[in-house]
Chains A and B, each alone.
Chain A
Amino acid sequence: MSFLKSFPPPGPAEGLLRQQPDTEAVLNGKGLGTGTLYIAESRLSWLDGSGLGFSLEYPTISLHALSRDRSDCLGEHLYVMVNAKFEESKEPVADEEEEDSDDDVEPITEFRFVPSDKSALEAMFTAMCECQALHPDPEDEDSDDYDGEEYDVEAHEQGQGDIPTFYTYEEGLSHLTAEGQATLERLEGMLSQSVSSQYNMAGVRTEDSIRDYEDGMEVDTTPTVAGQFEDADVDH
């Protein structure tokens, strides 16, 4: 395996959380021998008896799991799925397209780490969980609060959005009377200050909104369409 390299075992400087000796490593079903697994905060490493091994970066680890299937020929082990390609003739490659590759899906490599001490598996799993949490993905330019396909607040603001499938901010705004708009503006001000005000809906009179009207601020109560609110209760 030419992707195996010689490097010094990780130590405290790399945030070594756990090392598990006498652990067999298996790559895509092919055994690599017995060595020591090092679970460090910076990366996951495995080195065999001759000092050759490999490292995995946590952002490339899609998932890890404990396999408790004792009928598996390997027995209980730690399973790690990596979003990278490891081949006998190549260095590990992440997300690169190859000329003769017939799969444009992401590459998947499966590692299994089989410790001779099965009671260590829980601790190994937990140590990996802790290390994964230390490597979140970097923030994208877009806020991670919306995907491109979902309701795009910014696009609607600039008038570039597609016809919305549900009630949008701008759509509702144009249907409001002057009184309603004043109410909405006041409520939005309240919304930006406190989370609890999210329960006030525009136009609905609550104790708070009635109180707010009596602070002397002018509100135009004449309906824009004559006769529209003749039977409405306009008592503030």
Chain B
Amino acid sequence: MLFYSFFKSLVGKDVVVELKNDLSICGTLHSVDQYLNIKLTDISVTDPEKYPHMNCFIRGSVVRYVQLPADEVDTQLLQDAARKEALQQKQ
């Protein structure tokens, strides 16, 4: 739930999604759902590939990483929030 909210706060930002099959897709985060399925717009593929797609839906389970602009994320806050959520889950 935490990362669903986290990604919602990044809607509109440019991200790079790296998939488990090594494909990397750069685009603007359009939306995310509770399963962390990701929709991107204005996408381009960062490796030399051939698809200039515009709209893309990526299944959450195939995402390995989401690369974010560093100045858009307060990593300390995110760490604290994740730790607290883990403690709450434990109880």
Contact = CB atoms under 8 A, between A and B. Distances in A.
Interface string B30-69: 0001010101000100000001111111111110000000
How large, as a class, is the contact surface on chain B?
Answer: 35 or more
A54 interface: no
Given A62-B62, A66-B54, A153 B21 contact: no
A136 B35 contact: yes
A65 B89 contact: no
B37 A105 contact: no
Contacts of A105: 21-22
Contacts, number: 94
Interface string A129-172: 10011001100000101100001011001000000001001000
Given A62-B19, A136-B35, A69 B57 contact: no
Q: Which of A63, A154, A166 has most chain B Cβ within 10 Å? A: A63
Q: Which 9 A-B pairs have the closest CB atoms?
A: A65-B56, A65-B53, A62-B62, A68-B54, A63-B58, A136-B35, A137-B61, A66-B55, A192-B91
Interface of A: 59, 61-69, 79, 81, 83, 105-106, 108, 125, 128-129, 132-133, 136-137, 143, 145-146, 151, 153-154, 157, 166, 169, 188, 191-192, 198
